[in-house]
A and B are shown apart, each in its own frame.
Chain A
């Protein structure tokens, strides 16, 4: 029930309608006479955008069925490569190996960052890279050492298939260790829920997913905001990709075109990402 997001999206659309002719009716028109189904799977950060787009398309034309699954970036790449889904989302750029093996075509429709989060009541809000590496490796295990309360640090991490994890591990942890004591969660949404419920927890989540239920932590004095990701100051950034096996056709092609259209980009912006257009 993202009423807030839908309202924002609608408001922006209305403004656009007043200002320009393109956009609204045009983008969805492409789906008017289509039938069939579209399977999407992969990155969990993309899911809110996928769900909103699917909702609009299916409301317009109830003959289309779009199913959306999560699983993580590696799952998206693998499944689209094997032909199990039509569009595979990933929060990291597929490796050259993967592109060659599956003949993938990449479509980056937004930029996002990966930020460290803690519970909103936690007073520790700025960490250096060295501290972050030590926390996630388990070397620093009490908030006291960071100026917080005398309580143990509960580390939360993502599963191996996650693109968010991959990006965080490469850019923030410099490919360092993640402690075996860390609790595992299965998606960005799950990370958000877990950290927002644990007063002594710490984790990492897509910047687009951050809201008032979690407390963002500055990394080397740069806050994980959209502005900083856009300007390039915040280093832990990644693109949001939708990949297809070979050139997209039919419903998949229309869906990807829709993501790049004004309306699609609005949905991305409305969900906290930085659209490419």
Chain B
């Protein structure tokens, strides 16, 4: 009797696992199927390069793709030195009590809701940017990238700190034995050893920045132009979905958000595959 019970449970577990996989695939499936009218006839690639002008029946998402890539990459460029510096503080450079305090604060930061970053961004950062640059409304790529950098830093810092901790002890002891200072340990041993972890952390940061909706929705201005400077207002794919969801869902305009969904899904998959391959090659190299 118990044998059958066992098998039933095992099948049940398998069913749940398969259901979860099905959901993942279904999400992509729904995007493609529902966006089909726009995709017909190789239209999809055409969409990726067209501007967005619904009154002229142009439903391209090119401006949004440029917006997403600009904001995400700028955010990571800003966050990278910040995160690397903080991770080095946590691991080597700072005295123990401060390092523990910093780590706690960073861990707590991962729990801060995104909408709060958006709120503070709108009322604190945007006027500041407007006064600083004397140009534009303050709602621009730079403001959104700055806030986004603060958002993704904790993840990157914790990831870097973790990779630095996995540097083999003998290497670190060797530096101490040779009379090296902590910062030398960091620059000449830890960074080269953990470069894979650093790269993975950056890619995870990009992934997080690509997928964030609220910060860009509230701070980047959502203009439909193709941005040409960091002080231009821009729209990202995620914010576009949030803005157009209110439109008539039989219209071609609405279908464009499924195109955005597909592009985002593909970006995410690329990020995941990159992270996995880095991880796998790292494992192969380990002694």
Contact = CB atoms under 8 A, between A and B. Distances in A.
A72 B248 CA distance: 11
A179 B223 CA distance: 9
A265 B138 CA distance: 40
A200 B134 CA distance: 10
Contacts of B45: none
Most buried by A among B137, B223, B233, B235: B137
B246 interface: yes
A74 B138 contact: no
A71 B253 CA distance: 15
Given A152-B136, A180-B224, A159 B233 contact: no
Contacts of A182: 223-224, 233
A211 interface: no
Contacts of A75: 246-248
Contact of B138 (A71, A180, A198): A198
Nearest to A74: B248
Given A151-B134, A180-B223, A159 B243 contact: yes
B188 interface: no
B54 interface: yes
A188 interface: no
A184 B137 contact: no
Contacts of B222: 183-184
A186 interface: yes
A254 interface: no
Contact of B247 (A74, A156, A179, A200): A74
A78 B245 CA distance: 12
Nearest to B130: A198
User: Chain A interface: which size bin?
Assistant: 20 to 34
Most buried by A among B53, B225, B248: B248
A184 B233 CA distance: 9
A152 B243 contact: no
A217 B134 CA distance: 24
Given A75-B247, A161-B246, A180 B225 contact: yes
A154 interface: yes
Interface of B is mostly: loop
Given A160-B54, A183-B221, A71 B137 contact: no
Nearest to A162: B246
B127 interface: yes
A181 interface: yes
A43 B248 CA distance: 14
A224 B225 CA distance: 30
A128 interface: no
B54 A181 contact: no
A255 B221 CA distance: 37
B38 interface: no
Interface string A55-90: 000000000000000011011001000000000000
A213 B101 CA distance: 44
Contacts of A152: 135-136
A181 B225 contact: yes
Interface string A171-208: 00000000111111010000000000110110000000
20 contacts: A71-B246, A72-B246, A75-B247, A75-B248, A78-B249, A152-B135, A152-B136, A154-B137, A159-B244, A180-B63, A180-B225, A182-B223, A183-B137, A183-B221, A183-B233, A184-B221, A184-B222, A184-B224, A197-B126, A198-B137
